[in-house]
Amino acid sequence: MPLQAAFITIGQSPRPDITPGLLARIDGAIDVTEIGALDGLNDAQIAAMAPEPGEDTLVTRLRDGRQVIIGKRKTQARLKALFDQLDAEGRVEAIVLLCTGYFPGLQSKTLLVEAQRIVDHMTHALAEGASKVGLMVPARVQIAGSHDIAPAGVEVVGTWSSPYADQRFADAARDLKDCDLIVMHCMGYDDSHRAIVREITGKPVLLAQRMLAAGAAQLV
């Protein structure tokens, strides 16, 4: 029997920039339902999701491809409602959260696969022995966020480039050219973005999509 899974994006579903790539790397039977935290919201309602002063920033994609910037607290509340609904329905065996942002206290009675935990822990493991790790995130303001991606004593160098809007991958890659290992810390980055960074830096580049797929594949 295929694994019944819900892929939850913090933006709007479907995510043709993420889901096909994940499924191509998951070697097993899986039936996926895509759901978005912003599904059903109009532009005014989405604008009201913008971060308030002091609130952590998230960058995501709408169904029509537009980039939006939303606040973490508001997003977590909508995710919690979705998780509660899925728990009550009991129709999926796993919830896969397609976001590398950390949502403290967010839980589900259904098996929960968080991209952030997989990406951070895998990067931490692979960075053992490195002297400098590069971190790429979608927005400059996110660089200062909490990213426990490297062992103690390993320097983390941050830069930004949005997969949805500014597309400054070449400049961002040059910012990280002296790093031993680079992690592209957003589910919106794909293999084409990774190829740019890999070509410019010549360094190993970890892609969140690949890492999440490797973890989710263990369930099927």
Q: Are strands 67-71 and 57-61 parallel, antiparallel or unpaired?
A: antiparallel
The structure tokens listed for 11 are 């933006």
Q: How far apart are CA 93 and CA 13, in angstroms?
A: 19
For residue 207, what are the β-bridge partners? Answer: 184
Position 167 scores a pLDDT of: 79
For the chain, 220 residues long, give each residue's pLDDT as a single digit of tens.
Answer: 899 999 999 999 999 999 999 999 998 899 999 999 999 999 999 999 999 998 999 999 999 999 999 999 999 999 999 999 999 999 999 999 999 998 999 999 999 999 999 999 999 999 999 999 999 999 999 998 767 899 999 999 999 999 998 778 999 999 999 999 999 999 999 999 999 999 999 999 999 999 999 999 999 9
In the prediction, which pLDDT does 90 show? Answer: 97
> Where along the chain do its domains lie?
3-115+211-219, 118-208
User: Positive or negative CA dihedral for 177, 181, 187, 189?
Assistant: positive
**Phi/psi of residue 158, each to 5°?**
-105, 150
Q: Which fold has domain 118-208?
A: Oxidized Rhodanese; domain 1 (3.40.250)
Buried b (16+ CB within 10 A) or exposed e, 180-200: ebbbbbbbbbbeebbebbbeb
Residue 148 is predicted with a pLDDT of 85
Residue among 216, 194, 215, 57 at smallest CA distance from 134 = 194
pTM of the model: 0.95
Q: What is the pLDDT of residue 144?
A: 85
Choose which CATH entry (3.30.530.20, 2.60.40.10, 2.30.110.10, 3.40.50.1860) describes domain 3-115+211-219.
Answer: 3.40.50.1860
pLDDT for position 146? 64
